[in-house]
A = this chain, B = another copy of it.
Amino acid sequence: MLDAHRLALLAEVAHAGSIAGAAQRLAFTPSAVSQQLAKLERDVGAPLLHRNPRGVTLTPVGEALLSHAETIVGELRTAERTVRALLGEEPAQLTVGTFASAGMTLVPAALAGFRRDHPAVALRLLDLEPPDGYGLVSSRDLDLLITHRYPGAPLPDPRGLTRSLLRSERFRLILPEGHPKARVRRLTLRALAGEDWISGSPGVPNRVCLDELADAAGVTLTVAYETRDYQVILALVEAGLGVAFVPESVLARVGPARIEVRDAADARPARDVFLVHHRRPGKLVTEMVERLSPR
């Protein structure tokens, strides 16, 4: 039988992306982790990871084993919680994973309300960019994951977890204050083809979405500035450097910014925001889901 501790180690290494990173998280020396992984590979009879100069990546066999490892670790933690619940002990921790823009807008109010009602529960927040994080829910490193899917991006396999649509969030077009195009009545992507755009680097969901919109409209856009951070994008637009699509919630937080908010008539993207948790969520998770859900 495979050793569960070593599988847990594999999962940790996969999430951290390097042996050293995992070792630090677990308060071990890299040597210890390396040795255990070597033994796991010997047990399995096949290499599980490619040793790259910067960190490691999983082999196909490693990938296959990882998903099992995550469910096994999750099962072990589930077992532990079941017993704790049976002994009348309240769960003392709730870990929520979010993507950055939700972490700024959607989550804080819910977290604050939760903390008020459950001062004894240790709340933890983790930043995770989609499509990551599903594995961490499987392994119960995460109790609740807030994730999203940009149009055009594939929806990850839920792997036996419960996933529910929290809301669908529109993107708005933002331009520098006083930008000439802001006065146009019917604004189109084509009309903005000559502008400098601000978006993520190629491959980032954000950018993939923008490229697909441009394709659909039959234009090519110039992305002059690449950042995935919407606060940076806002600042760049404010500074008059370009135009961008941003999620509506990002705008809700900014004060009377010096930007113009419009919609493109031929491109009205929206991203779906999902909640992901275990099949049978605990009381605390259910409550947090309640708080996050629109009234």
Report B-chain residues with C-beta under 8 Å of the C-beta of A72.
4, 72, 75-76, 79
Q: Which residues of B contact A5 (CB under 8 A)?
A: 1, 3-4
**In residues 65-99 of chain A, which contact B (Cβ within 8 Å)?**
65, 68-69, 71-73, 75-80, 82-83, 86-87
> Pick the contact of A78 from B8, B68, B83, B86 — CB < 8 Å?
B68
Residues on B with beta carbons closer than 8 Å to the beta carbon of A82 = 64-65, 68
| A1 in contact with B76 (CB, 8 Å) | yes
A12 to B120, CA, bound (A): 38
A211 to B86, CA, bound (A): 37
What is the oligomeric copy number?
A: 2
- What is the minimal beta-carbon distance from A39 to any residue of chain B, in angstroms? 15
A83-B65, A86-B64 in contact; A73/B1 too (CB < 8 A)?
A: yes
Contacts of A45 in B (CB 8 A): 83, 87
Which residues of chain A in 33-63 are interfacial with respect to chain B, using CB atoms and an 8 Å cutoff?
Answer: 44-46, 60-61
Whether A64 lies near B83 (C-beta < 8 A) is yes
**A27 interface residue per 8 A CB criterion:** no
The smallest beta-carbon distance between A4 and chain B, in angstroms, is 4
A83 adjacent to B44 (CB under 8 Å): yes
In whole Å, how far is A157's beta carbon from the nearest beta carbon of chain B?
15
- With a cutoff of 8 Å between Cβ atoms, the chain B residues found around residue A80 in the complex are 1-2
Chain B residues within an 8 Å CB radius of A8: 1
Q: Are A46 and B4 in contact (CB under 8 A)?
A: no
With an 8 A cutoff between CB atoms, is A173 at the interface?
no
Closest to A7 in B: B79
Minimum Cβ distance to chain B for residue A27 (Å): 14
Q: Please determine whether A87 and B46 come into contact, CB atoms closer than 8 angstroms.
A: yes
- Closest Cβ neighbor of A48 among chain B residues: B83
- Name, among A2, A7, A8, the residue most crowded by chain B CB atoms within 10 Å (CB to CB): A2
5 interchain residue pairs of minimum CB distance? A68-B79, A4-B4, A72-B75, A1-B76, A2-B76
Show 8 residue pairs from A and B whose CB-CB distance is below 8 angstroms, ordered by the A residue.
A1-B5, A1-B80, A3-B4, A4-B72, A4-B76, A45-B87, A60-B86, A68-B78
